[in-house]
Chain A
């Protein structure tokens, strides 16, 4: 199939970027979107043009590294997939495909389509953990009763791969779906309780410091999330934060 690619090229964080057009032919429908970009890059290298920089790692939808805003949607058309799981059979020969980086103040561009998502790491560091005594008398995890439904919900929240599609999709560049998933996976479990209040207060505070926007409850994040993280996590975070604000010790 023959395609016209319109790709955002930007030499560095401070450089001025622009959309460049690359015609490409010989793309096969069985290629993944990333393989199609590999194929483009091989041709660019042959022509002496600098290849397009983009993030990728596992290429099987579990690492969250591949990003890309394709034809106006995070990870392109299709639901509950990452870009590496998007295949060229979703497009037709003759299509023009817009490929842009994830856009957010908190996700500065490193080069071309690659963005710095370490803001998520800093949110996680602000409270996305539990403190465990490792002095030798480790308690068997199964010794603490956990209701099955809570375990399932915590697991669903924990499937968030931190890809940033929620931020990229949100009209406000809000990180609420990510933060709420990372808070929920602990707040639903007994092990998360001792630090629950401080966790939600601190992680929300860090999220605000990073310059993410606010939540308008449009629900776009949930639709575009490759792991189908539910909006109920955001409600849980809102609820936990409200109670924690009233009842925390500090």
Chain B
């Protein structure tokens, strides 16, 4: 048999490997991001200075900088690859069914990955404009230690009910996206074992709900407590 394969670039399976690999990397990014956000539970001047110090570190430390570029590339690859896969999938069924009972055999999230992905991407754009862009290129005040005051920018954003509501909605969408994607990535990479797969699936589903819940908890805390008002 002569090989005609496209190997790791261009084939249907290869596209899925890239989806899974970038998706899992982005999951690890979420853990780091959430750990940073938990510092927002510390209010007052002490919390503000510590958070700004952390913000300075995250934008200047070389290892973190490299990781941030991997993150940007992963988001980009995950998006472009996802669009290409979705286009192929649509083309594979040019005439739709008139009656389709998809709920009988597959979960809602698994059938709406593209929609949930688009929602998440839209959120990322808004979110990066709010904080990432302002931190890098915006005119932020300096705090007592001379660090850019990312803390005030953050807490005042979440004082607005609509900003918090949008954030909660987007993170809920992300939770659904992850509830299928995070465990499905292992299957895509060929990891399916009678002993380990039930554990992996349960762990990743728990991950999918707990991580967004953590982000939401911080956002709701900031909205309720309004720490920016006391300083």
Q: Is the interface of B mostly helix, strand, loop or mixed?
A: loop
Mask, A219-232, CB within 8 Å of B = 1, is: 11001100000011
A163 sits at the interface (CB 8 A): no
- Report the minimal beta-carbon distance from B187 to chain A, rounded to whole angstroms: 5
- Answer yes or no: B136 CB below 8 A from chain A CBs: no
Q: Which residues of B contact A245 (CB under 8 A)?
A: 5, 7-8, 14
Number of interface residues of B (CB under 8 A): 45
Q: Is the CB of B1 within 8 A of A217?
A: no
Set A172, A202, A232: member contacting B1, Cβ < 8 A? A202
Residues of the A chain whose Cβ atoms lie less than 8 Å from the Cβ of B92 = 104-106, 172-174, 211-213
Min CB distance A202 to B, Å, is 6
Provide the residues of chain A in CB contact with B13, threshold 8 Å: 204, 237-238, 241-242
Tell me if A213 and B89 are in contact (CB < 8 A).
yes
- Residue B46 lies at the interface, judged by CB distance under 8 Å to chain A: no
- Of the listed stretches A26-34, A65-73, A83-91, name the one at the interface; the rest are far from the partner chain: A65-73
A197-250: which residues lie under 8 A (CB-CB) from chain B? Answer: 198-199, 201-202, 204-205, 207-208, 211-220, 223-224, 231-232, 234-242, 244-246, 248-250
Q: A98-B99, A105-B91 are in contact. Are A214 and B5 (CB under 8 A)?
A: no
Binds A, one of B58-66, B104-112, B139-147, B207-215: B104-112
How would you classify the secondary structure of chain A's contact residues: helix, strand, loop or mixed? mixed
Determine whether the beta carbon of A217 is less than 8 Å from that of B180.
Answer: yes
Assembled-state Cα–Cα distance A221/B45 (Å): 57
Q: What CA separation (Å) do A205 and B1 show in the bound complex? A: 13
- Min CB distance B49 to A, Å, is 46
Instruction: State whether the Cβ of A100 lies closer than 8 Å to any Cβ in chain B.
Output: yes
- Which B1-16 residues have a C-beta within 8 angstroms of A? 1-8, 11-16
In the assembled complex, the CB of B59 is this many whole angstroms from the nearest CB of chain A, namely 36
B32 lies within 8 A of chain A by Cβ: no
Tell me the B80-111 residues at the A interface (CB within 8 Å): 85, 88-89, 91-102, 104-107, 110-111
- Measured in the bound complex, the distance between the Cα atoms of B89 and A245 in whole Å is 23
Q: Which residues of A contact B17 (CB under 8 A)?
A: 238, 242
Choose from B2, B4, B5, B104 the contact partner of A73 (Cβ within 8 Å). B104
Q: Are A171 and B106 closer than 8 Å at their CB atoms?
A: yes
Contact of A211 among B91, B96, B192 (CB under 8 A): B91
Given A173-B93, A211-B91, A214-B85, do A201 and B7 touch, yes or no (CB 8 Å)?
A: yes
User: From residue A4, how far is it (CB to closest CB) to chain B in Å?
Assistant: 13
